[in-house]
Amino acid sequence: MPMRCPTCGTQYGDEARFCTKDGARLATADVSARATAARHPDAPIAEPNSGPATSHANMTGQVLDRRYLIVKKVGEGGMSYVYLARDVSTEQRYAIKILSPSLAQEANAMARLRREAALGIRLAHPNVCHIVRMGETEEGLVYVVMPFVEGEILSDRNYRVGLTTLADTGRFITEIADGLQVAHALGIVHRDLKPENIMVCKKSDGTEFAVVMDFGLAKERKASGELQKLTATGIILGTPEFMSPEQLRGKPLDARTDIYSLALMTYEMLTGKLPFEGSNQQAMMIARLRNDPIPAKNRRPDLPDSLDVVLLKGMARETTDRYATAPEFAAALRAAIG
């Protein structure tokens, strides 16, 4: 579906996410289908699949591993499909990520995924969608079971509400940072932190809170070291707009990579745009390696001066110049916004 910049009106293909002219997030006429499915889990579902042979992309109506009834598809990516499922014995609802066969055949990737799944089970935290278990069917389908989290994807909320208030930004970033810290303490780096991987949920009293999704699943610790290979086709690992400089360079990653992405997300929540500009996506990535971020106050003059100090440190090109931990960044952000 074609994407359009709500600021300047420029149209892009369906692979684009941000306007290369002014950095604004692109949008379609309707809201993301993933968010709609997450917000309406009891919507009518498809009939059991009686067509082509079952595959990771075609599971609705099937019973996975004699245990999970696949209710409907709620998301997909280049390496996996995500389904809403129900445990046939307990009626508990889960989100199940089924990995692509090509990924499942990569021995190194699967060995790493199994290690991270074992750690991910220990990630139980109110602000993290953790891994419940990892399994493999007799047919060779590899899957990961997670709690089914209902809410609105942060990227959709950003588009719906426009600029996020300082109070909401401070609360969401603090909650995301708390979730990240649990993972970082276990040596797990998210590596693909972005608004599409944050779910904004509601408590019984209507209060919103943020949950970090998709921890450590099917991601490499290093991106390609050749910048010319970075394209807009989605073949690189991670989301280009929110990747840290060390990811773009193919360097080793640690918790400070997530802090960079968290600072970028904060900037976008407050300004509606990204802090770098370029004629195309590759130029924007090169700008991240060479240029300083555009001050947030240039985008939104009512922001306090102290906020830019915090954001610039969070988005420092060198990891040693950033905050050491995600909660440290969140605390500095709260202090800056009062």
Active site residues: 192
The answer to whether the beta carbons of residues 168 and 152 sit under 8 Å apart is no
Say whether 190 sits in a helix, a strand or coil.
Answer: coil
Beta bridge partners of 131: none
Tokens 């500095």 correspond to: 332
The answer to whether the beta carbons of residues 97 and 80 sit under 8 Å apart is yes
Q: What is the DSSP letter of 195?
A: G
* 130/181 Cα distance (integer angstroms): 13
Taking alpha carbons only, the member of 283, 55, 327, 15 closest to residue 174 is 327
Taking alpha carbons only, the member of 282, 277, 281, 337 closest to residue 311 is 337
In this structure, what token pair is assigned to residue 132?
A: 């419940």
Taking alpha carbons only, the member of 83, 190, 56, 193 closest to residue 146 is 83
* 284/279 Cα distance (integer angstroms): 7
Burial of 251 (0-12, 13-18, 19+ CB in 10 A): middle
Beta bridge partners of 85: 70, 94
* 314/41 Cα distance (integer angstroms): 36
In this structure, what token pair is assigned to residue 323?
A: 């905050």
**Assign residue 23 a region: left if phi > 0, alpha if psi is -120 to 50, beta otherwise?**
left
* 146/135 Cα distance (integer angstroms): 12
